[in-house]
Chains A and B, each alone.
Chain A
Amino acid sequence: MQKNRGNVFKMKALSGFSALFITLTLLSFPSLISAKVDGPCYICHTMHASQGGAKPASWDLTGDAYDSDIPRANLLVDDCVGCHSSDGAETIKQIGSTKIPIVYNTSGYPTQPLAGGNFYYVSKGGTCADGECDEYGHNVYGISGQDSILTEAPGRKNCSNNSNSCHFTLAVSNQDAYEYANKRQSGCQGCHFKVFHHKDNGIYRFLIGHDGNEDYYVTGQEEPNWEQSPSIASHNVYKGFDGPVSIDLDQTNSISSYCGGCHTKFHRESYISGSDPWLRHPTDIKLPQTGEYAAYDALTDYSNEAPVAYTDPANPTRATAVVMCLSCHRPHGSDQPDMLRWDYKSMVAGNGNSGGCFTCHTNKN
């Protein structure tokens, strides 16, 4: 009896500790989107594209040469790729108080890629160790040429007004984008359609739709360092939806709905099925709390190999955890084919492995 009372006490203590731990963990999540850029204006802007009577030779503080024509729109010293790339290994460039997330390291895949991944491998194109490097990320204008394998966004849904006009590639200039992509926006801004660097407007990572309706955007909680060192206490909290969905981004505001804008057939209920048996791996569905899935609670056992979204990112609970596209993929690119977070070939059922697929599918390892 004494022993039992001791066990009960231990259980209560453990239970209380767990509750405290979980509470502290939740409290330590980024409370609100706060991506507003701060720092000296001159780091990013040049008023007249002229210094000493001539076009500036280089970006003042970094010494990086201007590699293309200025003046640029919005008085910027460089384009998206120019500012967010590095020839070193850093993935956050710090200039004064200004932090610039690096999404393209030109000298090698970084050891600490950010949450969206890195364009290094896809920039190589051609043959990689495991195939074509084009498989390793999105082909984006300024970083890589058009995909040598894919001729359009896989899962692409035809446009309503022109069956041949949308979502073929992001690797053409804006001038050429009309017949290929979103409203004449290609490259980085094919996805990051409006880049509100100086606004905290609740729009996650500048992901807003191109249809002119301001309600079409993604929400979520942004980790201040873009998950350079993700932990249970500090990571992005993505917006999910209790689907599968047959409604639009303006009603879900989910990260997967945004992916579905181009890769519709990988997301919509009409293409993936409404329930098990699934026709395609579902996204924007709740991660079941039963069966093998019950063993994975990203709140207490967060895995960067299989993060989940939540229907309410500000108040994440196990019951509202949602499978999303980014549970498996990194949107910019990764060191694996298909932009996966892990090597798909190493996912071997019944072999005692862990991680990757087996983070959720805990009984299949």
Chain B
Amino acid sequence: MTSFSKIKEVKNMRKPLLLTFFILLSVALVYGSADAAVTGPCSNCHTMHNSQGGVQVTPSALPTQSKLLNNNCLGCHTTDGTDPLANNKPRVKSSSGAFNNDNSLAGGYFGQTQDAADNHGSNQHDVGVGNTNLPAGYDASEALGDWYTGDTSVNGLTCAGTNGCHGDETQGVEDDMQAIKGGHHSPSAYRMLFVNGSAVQGSGAPDFEKALIASPSLDDDHNQYNATVGGPSISELCAKCHSDFHGEDADVGSGTTISPWKRHPTDVAIPTDWEIYTAFTTEWTNDPDAWKNHPLGFDGAESAGNARVICVSCHRAHGAEYDDNLRWDYATQVAGSGATTFGCLGCHDKQR
């Protein structure tokens, strides 16, 4: 073999290597998966003995917290101010009621008061109030729906663990902190979310979409949700409790994956004759309102072919200003109005 042919061979090998590199880089960029690790003084969050000057560090109503934390989930992630990202810490509740549709984070927010009468309040998930009702659409017989098997008679819905949304439920612990173990300092899953022990994929906006929600702009960061069929997708996470509303239940789509649907589908592709498919860049990716009001998930890179409708296309996970945790007031969705191009009608262009 001549030196010339060796050089040529090396050059020929470069192409597939470079191609592979860029593909891997693209995948990594699309689904960074883990959120940024928490940094800062340990004392901001932890107390070694829950005692300072002989006084309990945790709020008086709280027992000593596991993981040596100085508060519980809501205690840390609630603000008495108006900034949903005060001190660069995501806030999911404002004790002063300052959060609304234009001032909150991507997951939405919990109201000032929670309804102990149910755990599916009119506009929020009611956490920590000890209600033991099963979630709407819960079906233990479904493949994913058998998850909510914690001690519901005591705790009801919590933030994490076997009765909550965050953390790895397969650890079998009710304790919120144990369930999200490592999630703050060595994050391995999107927003510490898991489905059957597998990390939900996705890439979270560094500001949790604070800027996008306040005033949508293409310059704003947005979450990238995974909608890979067979998961672990963000919608499969929801299906752990609300399996009847996901593809887990046959009567979502007559036992098939095609229209006519009986319940609004999730994790399904966008029909190819819809504007958000045919004019994907103008009707969707270049519409900042779309990122705020009807985001899509993707089975891979952001493209029309990979786009999927997901649960959080319509709902905000924690709660919202509007009924049913919706991103918008359902009553504003008026077919034939010609003016509404967000929400339902953001995707359903033929009904505008």
List residues of A whose CB falls within 8 A of some B CB. 36-42, 47-50, 52-54, 70-75, 96-97, 198-199
A71: nearest chain-B partner, CB-CB: B262
- A75 and B264 within 8 A (CB): yes
A50 to B242 Cα, complex, angstroms: 11
Residues of chain A lying within 8 A (CB to CB) of residue B133: 53
| Interface check B263, CB cutoff 8 A | yes
Binary contact track B259-298/A, C-beta < 8 Å → 1, others 0:
1111110000000000000000000000000000000000
Residues of chain A lying within 8 A (CB to CB) of residue B336: 36-39, 97, 198
Residues of chain A lying within 8 A (CB to CB) of residue B200: none
Known: A36-B336, A72-B262. A50 touches B330 (CB 8 A): no
A267 to B125 Cα, complex, angstroms: 62
Known: A37-B336, A41-B344. A73 touches B261 (CB 8 A): yes
- A50 and B344 within 8 A (CB): no
| Interface check B107, CB cutoff 8 A | no
24 sampled A-B residue pairs with Cβ under 8 A: A36-B335, A41-B334, A41-B344, A41-B351, A42-B330, A42-B333, A47-B264, A48-B136, A48-B242, A48-B263, A49-B262, A49-B263, A50-B137, A52-B136, A53-B118, A53-B133, A53-B134, A53-B135, A53-B136, A54-B136, A71-B252, A74-B259, A75-B264, A198-B335
Among B136, B261, B333, B344, which residue has its beta carbon within 8 angstroms of that of A74? B261
Residues of chain B lying within 8 A (CB to CB) of residue A71: 251-252, 262-263
Contacting A at CB under 8 A, from B225-261, are: 242, 244-245, 251-252, 254, 259-261
| Interface check B120, CB cutoff 8 A | yes
A73 to B265 Cα, complex, angstroms: 12
From residue A198, how far is it (CB to closest CB) to chain B in Å?
A: 5
With most chain B CB atoms within 10 A of its CB, the pick from A36, A37, A53 is A53
A74 to B258 Cα, complex, angstroms: 11
- B314 and A75 within 8 A (CB): no
Known: A48-B264, A49-B263. A41 touches B244 (CB 8 A): no
With most chain B CB atoms within 10 A of its CB, the pick from A42, A48, A54 is A48
From residue B345, how far is it (CB to closest CB) to chain A in Å?
A: 8
A73: nearest chain-B partner, CB-CB: B260
Residues of chain A lying within 8 A (CB to CB) of residue B261: 73-75
Which 4 pairs of residues, A with B, have the shortest CB-CB distance? A38-B336, A73-B260, A71-B262, A53-B136
- B335 and A37 within 8 A (CB): yes
Residues of chain B lying within 8 A (CB to CB) of residue A75: 261-264
Residues of chain B lying within 8 A (CB to CB) of residue A72: 262
A70 to B252 Cα, complex, angstroms: 11
Residues of chain B lying within 8 A (CB to CB) of residue A74: 259-262
| Interface check B13, CB cutoff 8 A | no
- B254 and A50 within 8 A (CB): no
Residues of chain B lying within 8 A (CB to CB) of residue A49: 262-263
Residues of chain A lying within 8 A (CB to CB) of residue B264: 47-48, 75
| Interface check B331, CB cutoff 8 A | yes
Residues of chain A lying within 8 A (CB to CB) of residue B96: none
List residues of B whose CB falls within 8 A of some A CB. 118, 120, 133-137, 242, 244-245, 251-252, 254, 259-264, 314, 330-331, 333-337, 344, 350-351
Among A53, A70, A96, which residue has its beta carbon within 8 angstroms of that of B120? A53
Residues of chain B lying within 8 A (CB to CB) of residue A50: 136-137, 244-245
From residue B323, how far is it (CB to closest CB) to chain A in Å?
A: 10
Among B137, B244, B350, which residue has its beta carbon within 8 angstroms of that of A199? B350
A37 to B335 Cα, complex, angstroms: 7
- A48 and B334 within 8 A (CB): no
A189 to B58 Cα, complex, angstroms: 65
A178 to B336 Cα, complex, angstroms: 36
B246: nearest chain-A partner, CB-CB: A48
- A38 and B263 within 8 A (CB): no
Residues of chain B lying within 8 A (CB to CB) of residue A53: 118, 120, 133-136
- B262 and A40 within 8 A (CB): no
A49 to B252 Cα, complex, angstroms: 10
- B244 and A52 within 8 A (CB): no
Residues of chain B lying within 8 A (CB to CB) of residue A198: 335-336, 350-351
- A40 and B331 within 8 A (CB): yes
From residue A34, how far is it (CB to closest CB) to chain B in Å?
A: 10
From residue B127, how far is it (CB to closest CB) to chain A in Å?
A: 16
- B118 and A52 within 8 A (CB): yes
A39 to B352 Cα, complex, angstroms: 10
A37 to B336 Cα, complex, angstroms: 7
- B314 and A38 within 8 A (CB): no
From residue B60, how far is it (CB to closest CB) to chain A in Å?
A: 34
With most chain A CB atoms within 10 A of its CB, the pick from B254, B261, B330, B336 is B336
Residues of chain B lying within 8 A (CB to CB) of residue A199: 350
A96 to B261 Cα, complex, angstroms: 26
Known: A38-B334, A48-B242, A49-B262. 19 other contacts (CB 8 A): A37-B336, A38-B337, A39-B334, A40-B331, A40-B335, A41-B330, A41-B334, A42-B330, A48-B136, A48-B245, A48-B263, A48-B264, A52-B136, A53-B133, A53-B136, A54-B136, A71-B251, A75-B262, A97-B336
A97 to B331 Cα, complex, angstroms: 12
A40 to B134 Cα, complex, angstroms: 30
Known: A47-B314, A49-B262, A75-B262. A38 touches B331 (CB 8 A): no
From residue B228, how far is it (CB to closest CB) to chain A in Å?
A: 22
Residues of chain B lying within 8 A (CB to CB) of residue A52: 118, 120, 136
Residues of chain A lying within 8 A (CB to CB) of residue B134: 53
A48 to B326 Cα, complex, angstroms: 13
- B136 and A42 within 8 A (CB): no
From residue B75, how far is it (CB to closest CB) to chain A in Å?
A: 28
A40 to B328 Cα, complex, angstroms: 13
B118: nearest chain-A partner, CB-CB: A53
A47 to B137 Cα, complex, angstroms: 12
From residue B310, how far is it (CB to closest CB) to chain A in Å?
A: 13
From residue B238, how far is it (CB to closest CB) to chain A in Å?
A: 11
A186 to B59 Cα, complex, angstroms: 66
Residues of chain A lying within 8 A (CB to CB) of residue B333: 40-42
Residues of chain A lying within 8 A (CB to CB) of residue B251: 71
B334: nearest chain-A partner, CB-CB: A40
Among B137, B262, B334, which residue has its beta carbon within 8 angstroms of that of A73? B262
A222 to B118 Cα, complex, angstroms: 48
Residues of chain B lying within 8 A (CB to CB) of residue A96: 334
A69: nearest chain-B partner, CB-CB: B251
